[in-house]
């Protein structure tokens, strides 16, 4: 019997090659889209799952409050929280503190600026189960001036030599002994670490300060809890510890601090704070794409049902003959279920082949090293088997029962017609398809417009034709003089208009966050927190910043370092009703007094996803951090070579590390752009697959109404009239789909737009254009079969069964 079923399937496929191709390709496209997205989703949820005891490891995240409102959210926290948690609570087995290393490493004539080298306390490897290839994980970071490095970093500086016991120099002055080599961290780690200095070194550089203060932030702290400890219960104890340690100081300053425990495995998807190791993912985007994957696969299965039932009338006689010859209904169901199983298996095979082919492209699109790990997991192959079986059941069950229910007497006499219940079922599925499709198109359109809006908005700062160079790490007492020499040497080139130094550039979050700043006339409890940027006197003019009131910094004013400039947001936060009132007033800043000499118009220091920060600008003739070079980029390669030559002459031993500011600024939108591209591509696929389903339904309708069309033509109906008549039913389906899709799309995209401080309005035409597009595509799809039937000779139509 099985052989007979397979023979029947083979004959059916051979006889209907084009139809089978459409059916299988629709399923395959849906499965390709689903598998690609599943790869991405699995990768995003796999972060830090490789760690032993991952359920016991937490990062201590800090929210600082100012007058009851959150002012700063740190991925890192205060210096003293780690030691105090270990001392106060027996539930804490281990803690580790980390601090940015600011490393410019050198060994012989090999030197590089390293961004992923940190200071870390000795229990780091007790918490994180990173494999130590050489050295003792218990003691490698215990003593001052010791360092462990990754396998790739060791190869970078020492080649094939054994680095253990050798020395490496940092910032041209401090030597570290290599006491350990660890395995490179996998890509699915929220941490980016190539090397670790012992934290004891950092303390030694700061006069052996025990680092116990709660008012010094920027220290990343991880803890490992006892396996019996409940994280929620433990977290509820932290407010009492805050009150015990710094309650009075916080109350006097009208400040607050709240600590949260972040499970290490959730950091990648749920964290975007100051001090992150690297750009993280977004749980909402992952969920969005997961829903898209499910919708596309669901649409593909609906297509199979629609296309199979569209073909049902042509197979009615086959079913009638089989029943007359003695086939039971159960045998017919088995036959058609086997057919669905074979077609789903073929679609899965094609899909797997295309996924293997497209994975490198998709990895580049998502910015994630997806590789082929999915195919090496046994769960994946079990899932594929389940997908074939489930797909066959979902997509084959309804057509099987429809086909097997035909009455042979009516079929063979040509009196067969579909039940209204079956027609309504198929139309309902088409409505479902297009509700999903319209929602996806509106989403794609909204994401695209929001990204364009952010990129086209006036930033209030000129970032064009700007090269930013990291200031030197290896410095001495002549640094200020050297910067002036470097600056003047670049200004001699005719294409260079400005050279300016600052601690931060647009597109980067200012690293200095200062609390306790207030006007002299205000009480201590009226102080607030501000972001602080140090700049020289050319910064404002170079970046085209607008002075609202007062003056910019000047290199000719005596004691200019006692002056400050505020932006408009800072002026409002300090309680001034207008910028002019702030001029010549004085502020208290960490024990010193500064005079306000100017007010800058608010500009977007960071992306438009964020609101304007209150900024305080302080003056320095040569602040460390970044050098911004404004120049005509007509001959960019020549200019870059000249700049690097001057750099090496003035700052020998320091690598020339540079980037163009517009590229750097737009990196803030990279994850949103990737999400938009992925969303757009798979939305297009969803529309295409949905149109295949509509193609099937219109085919069914045209077949059912062949005689009616012939009669109408004989009675004088025009092709356009027949086309309008046949399209009417589908217009109703589209109208229902649009009615359901618009509120769903509005709610979905309104929720997504809440992530942006500056955002577009969801105007009516954002919904109208995608809806009209879907209607147009649907009508074109329907017209293919309708025109074919309408152009058929009425004599043939009237003879049709």
Q: What is the pLDDT of residues 214-224, one digit of tens each?
A: 988 889 999 99
Phi, psi of 131 (to 5 degrees): -65, 125
Residue 545 and residue 540: Cα distance in Å, rounded?
5
Residue 25 and residue 692: Cα distance in Å, rounded?
10
Domain boundaries, the chain: 1-46+286-416, 54-270
Block residue for tokens 């005596």: 558
Nearest-CA neighbor of 441 among 734, 781, 778, 774? 774
Whole-Å CA distances, 648 to 109, 142, 473, 482: 14, 37, 13, 11
Instruction: Give residue 644's pLDDT.
Output: 95
Residues (pLDDT < 50) of the chain are 415-416
Instruction: Give residue 422's pLDDT.
Output: 57
Structure tokens at 226: 């006892």
Residue 82 and residue 753: Cα distance in Å, rounded?
37
Contacts 24+ apart (CB under 8 A), 477-485: 479/622, 479/624, 480/621, 480/622, 482/650, 482/651, 483/621, 483/622, 483/627, 484/621, 484/622, 485/650
CA 521 to mean position of chain CA atoms:
45
Residue 494 and residue 496: Cα distance in Å, rounded?
6
Q: What is the pTM of this model?
A: 0.81
Block residue for tokens 């849906």: 30
CA 18 to mean position of chain CA atoms:
40
Containing H/E element for 106?
strand 103-107
Tell me: the pLDDT tens digits for 422-435? 567 667 777 887 88
Instruction: Give residue 497's pLDDT.
Output: 96
First to last CA, the chain: 31
Instruction: Give residue 129's pLDDT.
Output: 95
Block residue for tokens 């417009």: 449
Residue 268 and residue 438: Cα distance in Å, rounded?
31
Q: Are 246 and 217 in contact (CB under 8 A)?
A: no
Instruction: Give residue 485's pLDDT.
Output: 95
Nearest-CA neighbor of 695 among 385, 426, 418? 426
């Amino acid at each position: 019997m099985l052989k007979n079923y397979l023979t029947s399937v083979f004959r059916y496929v051979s006889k209907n090659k084009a139809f089978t191709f459409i059916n299988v390709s629709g399923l395959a496209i849906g499965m390709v889209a689903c598998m690609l997205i599943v790869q991405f989703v699995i990768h995003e949820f796999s972060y830090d799952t490789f760690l032993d005891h991952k359920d016991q490891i937490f990062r201590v995240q800090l929210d600082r409050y100012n007058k009851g409102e959150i002012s700063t959210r740190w991925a890192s926290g205060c210096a003293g929280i780690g030691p105090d948690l270990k001392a106060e609570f027996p539930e804490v087995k281990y803690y580790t503190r980390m601090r940015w290393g600011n490393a410019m490493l050198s060994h012989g004539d090999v030197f590089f600026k390293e961004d992923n080298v940190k200071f870390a306390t000795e229990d780091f490897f007790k918490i994180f189960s990173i494999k130590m290839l050489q050295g003792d994980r218990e003691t490698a970071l215990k003593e001052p001036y010791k360092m462990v490095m990754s396998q790739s970093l060791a190869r970078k500086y020492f080649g094939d030599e054994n680095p253990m016991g050798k020395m490496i120099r940092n910032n041209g002055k401090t030597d570290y002994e290599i006491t350990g080599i660890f395995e490179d961290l996998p890509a699915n780690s929220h941490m980016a670490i190539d090397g670790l200095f012992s934290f004891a070194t950092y303390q030694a550089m700061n006069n052996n300060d025990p680092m116990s203060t709660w008012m010094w932030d920027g220290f990343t702290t991880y803890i490992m809890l006892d396996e019996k400890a409940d994280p929620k219960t433990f977290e509820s104890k932290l407010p009492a510890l805050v009150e015990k340690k710094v309650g009075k100081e916080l109350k006097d300053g009208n400040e607050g601090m709240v600590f949260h425990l972040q499970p290490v495995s959730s950091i990648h998807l749920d964290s975007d704070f100051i001090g992150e190791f690297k750009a993280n993912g977004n749980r909402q985007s992952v969920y969005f794409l997961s829903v898209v994957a499910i919708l596309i696969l669901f649409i593909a299965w609906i297509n199979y049902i629609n296309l199979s039932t569209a073909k049902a009338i042509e197979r009615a006689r086959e079913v009638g003959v089989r029943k007359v010859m003695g086939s039971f209904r159960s045998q017919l169901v088995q036959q058609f279920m086997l057919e669905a199983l074979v077609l789903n298996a073929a679609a899965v095979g094609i899909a797997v082949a295309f996924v293997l082919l497209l994975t490198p492209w998709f990895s580049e699109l998502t910015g994630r090293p997806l590789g082929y790990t999915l195919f090496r997991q046994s769960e994946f192959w079990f899932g594929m088997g389940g997908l074939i079986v489930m797909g066959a059941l979902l997509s084959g069950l309804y057509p099987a029962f429809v086909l097997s229910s035909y009455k042979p007497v009516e079929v063979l006499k040509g009196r067969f017609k579909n039940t209204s219940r079956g027609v309504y079922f198929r139309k309902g599925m088409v409505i479902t398809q297009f509700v999903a499709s319209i929602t996806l198109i509106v989403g794609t359109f909204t994401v695209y417009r929001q990204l364009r809006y952010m990129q086209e908005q006036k930033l209030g700062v000129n970032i064009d034709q700007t090269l930013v160079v990291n200031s030197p790490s290896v410095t001495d007492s002549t640094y200020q003089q050297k910067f002036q020499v470097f600056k003047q040497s670049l200004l001699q080139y005719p294409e260079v208009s400005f050279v300016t130094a600052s601690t931060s550039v647009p597109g980067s979050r200012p690293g200095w966050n200062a609390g306790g700043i207030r006007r002299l006339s205000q009480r201590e409890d009226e102080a607030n927190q501000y972001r602080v940027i140090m700049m020289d006197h050319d910064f404002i003019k170079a970046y085209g910043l607008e002075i609202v009131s007062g003056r910019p910094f000047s290199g000719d004013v005596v004691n200019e370092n006692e002056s400050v400039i505020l932006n408009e947001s800072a002026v409002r936060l300090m309680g001034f009703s207008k910028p002019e009132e702030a001029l010549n007033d004085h502020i208290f800043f960490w024990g010193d007094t500064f005079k306000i000499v100017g007010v800058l118009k608010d500009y977007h220091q960071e992306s438009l996803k964020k609101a304007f920060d209150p900024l305080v600008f302080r003056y320095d003739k040569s602040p460390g951090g970044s050098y911004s070079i404004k120049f005509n980029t007509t001959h960019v390669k020549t200019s870059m070579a000249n700049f690097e030559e001057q750099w090496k002459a003035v700052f020998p031993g320091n690598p020339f590390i540079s980037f163009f500011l517009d590229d750097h600024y737009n990196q803030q939108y990279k994850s949103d752009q990737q999400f938009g591209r992925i969303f757009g591509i798979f939305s297009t696929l969803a529309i295409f697959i949905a149109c295949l389903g509509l193609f099937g339904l219109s085919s069914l309708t045209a077949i059912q109404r062949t005689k009616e069309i012939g009669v109408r033509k004989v009675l004088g109906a025009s092709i356009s009239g027949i086309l309008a008549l046949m399209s009417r039913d589908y217009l109703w389906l589209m109208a229902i789909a649009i009615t359901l899709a618009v509120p769903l799309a509005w709610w979905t995209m309104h929720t997504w737009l809440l992530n942006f401080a500056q955002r577009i309005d969801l105007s009516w035409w954002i919904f109208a254009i995608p809806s009209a597009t879907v209607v147009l595509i649907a009508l074109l799809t329907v017209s293919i079969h309708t025109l074919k039937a309408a152009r058929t000779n009425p004599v043939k139509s009237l003879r049709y069964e």
